[in-house]
Amino acid sequence: MKFNVVSNDDGEAAASNDPKSQIESLVSSAPVFLFMKGSPDAPQCGFSSRVIETLRGWNVPFETFNVLSDEGIRDGIKEYANWPTIPQLYVNKEFVGGCDIIEEMSGNGELGELFKEAHPNLEFTPPPPPVEVQNLPPEDIAELLKKQPDIPLLDVRGPEERAIACVAGARMIDQALAQEIVNSWDPNIPLVFMCHKGGRSLQAAQYFTQQGFQNVYNVVGGIDAWSLTVDSEIPRY
């Protein structure tokens, strides 16, 4: 899939200081155009990252503009589209929507129809649906980690909970690490998620399957069950 990044001093968009004129030039510059935060290889917000993954899933050529590089366009695009948030996707110069709408249209096939209109000479195949999270009991996860110690065990709990009880080798996942995983980790590597009793970690695991990760595990019962079945020296709380 091909994409290009348009800077704020490229082409006709720089010919005018009027944000509306710049925006019109940008949306006219490619059949599929995305206003986002950051770049396709380094999104700077989770919603932009999700839209990039959706576009990549369709293997559609597109261009992008980083609104963080130009305050006038960042503010102007919200008024231009009458849409308060970023990212914003345009197809054939028509505003399509933001992250949730794009994902919904991708799921029901409407986005593919728009891409066919934008690129009539290309064939588009719907991306496969996200894989299911593999919910396993702590003893099975412990055996998996014993056999493959390089698999990251990601703890979604905060520092206060981790100070009470923590599995050796578990890594706390915060927003910065989550973004790093989405942006730069191999989507085929296994990921294991843990929390106190398994609910929060399941939500985190489902998020990463939606980002394209193919081998995602959740510790059923969390560290509480781990203490009961794997390591009784870990305190319960």
As annotated, the active-site residues are 195
**φ and ψ at 97, to 5 degrees?**
155, -175
CA 109, distance to chain mean position in Å, is: 20
Residue 137 · residue 220 · CB < 8 Å: yes
* Long-range pairs for 8-15: beta carbons < 8 A, 24 or more residues apart: 8/65, 8/66, 8/69, 8/70, 8/73
Task: Report d(CA 65, CA 8) in Å as an integer.
Answer: 8
One-letter identity of residue 135: N
**φ and ψ at 93, to 5 degrees?**
70, 5
